[in-house]
Amino acid sequence: MSHACKLATGNWKMNGLRADLDEARALAAGFPDAKCGILLCPPATLVCAMADALSGSAVMVGGQDCHAQTTGAHTGDISAQMLADAGARQVILGHSERRADHAETSAQVAAKAAAAHAAGLVAIICIGETESQRDAGQTLDVVLSQLAQSLPDEATSANTVIAYEPVWAIGTGRTPTLEQITEVHDALRANLPDQAISLLYGGSVKPGNAAEIFAIANVDGALVGGASLKAVDFGAIIAAL
Ligand code: PEP
């Protein structure tokens, strides 16, 4: 099943200063009556300012991570409730860079997703195989295991989105074949607890390859890193939705 309203999510990662809010404003100006969901996830320092800058526009704002607890002695972390309070409506969780750089497990991702849901945020949960796992023929085992372990029990299409991001395709300019994306998305769809949960593809999505990826039946949108930083590039991807 594919959704009528697709979702384009931009992940700015650790990029962006206040001056870059002009890119967010330019994006919003380009899509005054968006027919799809458009989301920008800036670094935590910009969530509040971006939410203010985009207030009343069709572009939503999200976070890139949250802690599983609501408050407490966790220096440097932010809670889902804080993101919601700053104006976020969604939060990316379990990105492969967090799984690699911070040793996040799928169980921790599920706990963070439960915290996001409790705060009223949509959790965008990332899963994906490494290149060596793909070479070893383990792709479906890896992503289905991550899917099963990263989703909290209460996950539904109203509060959860899944992003399939092959680790080897992130920031590399390399993408799986359309057949490989189809195979993984079909397997994910068949194993979702709620069939209407959106499935995003992420990994080197660019204006030049967005349309063919979005044409895949079980692709409901994209999670975009590098190409989401500039309104002209992200706008071209959104236009292909
Ligand atoms: C990402 O950060 O989730 C991502 C897919 O990055 P890129 O589009 O740059 O590959």
Whole domain around residue 183: which residue ranges? 62-195
Instruction: For residue 203, report the distance from its CA to the centre of ligand 1, in Å.
Output: 5
Pair of tokens at residue 25: 């404003």
pLDDT of residue 4: 58
pLDDT for 2 beyond 60: no
- Indicate which residue's Cα is closest to atom 2 of ligand 1: 225
My answer on whether 49 and 141 are in the same domain is no
pTM of the complete model: 0.97
My answer on whether 49 and 94 are in the same domain is no
Instruction: For residue 213, report the distance from its CA to the centre of ligand 1, in Å.
Output: 14
pLDDT for 47 beyond 90: yes
Instruction: For residue 156, report the distance from its CA to the centre of ligand 1, in Å.
Output: 24
Q: Is the CB of 160 under 6 A from ligand 1?
A: no
What tens digit of pLDDT does each residue of 187-228 get?
999 999 999 999 999 999 999 999 999 999 999 999 999 999
Q: Is residue 219 part of a domain?
A: no
Q: Is the CB of 171 under 6 A from ligand 1?
A: yes
pLDDT of residue 3: 55
Q: Is residue 101 part of a domain?
A: yes
- Which residue intervals of the chain are DSSP H helices? 21-30, 44-53, 80-86, 96-101, 106-118, 131-135, 139-150, 178-190, 210-214, 231-239
Q: Is residue 78 part of a domain?
A: yes
95 is catalytic: yes
My answer on whether 138 and 154 are in the same domain is yes
- Indicate which residue's Cα is closest to atom 4 of ligand 1: 225
117 is catalytic: no
Distance CA 125, CA 200 (A): 10
- Which residues, 6 or more positions from 68, have their beta carbon under 8 angstroms from its beta carbon? 108, 111, 112, 114, 115
My answer on whether 153 and 73 are in the same domain is yes
Question: Which mutation among 91, 223, 234, 238 tests ligand 1's pocket best, with the greatest number of atoms within 8 A of CB?
Answer: 223
pLDDT for 1 beyond 50: no
Catalytic residue from among 23, 104, 129, 165: 165
Instruction: For residue 98, report the distance from its CA to the centre of ligand 1, in Å.
Output: 13
My answer on whether 189 and 139 are in the same domain is yes
My answer on whether 52 and 92 are in the same domain is no
Binding region for substrate: 11-13, 171, 204, 225-226
pLDDT of residue 53: 98
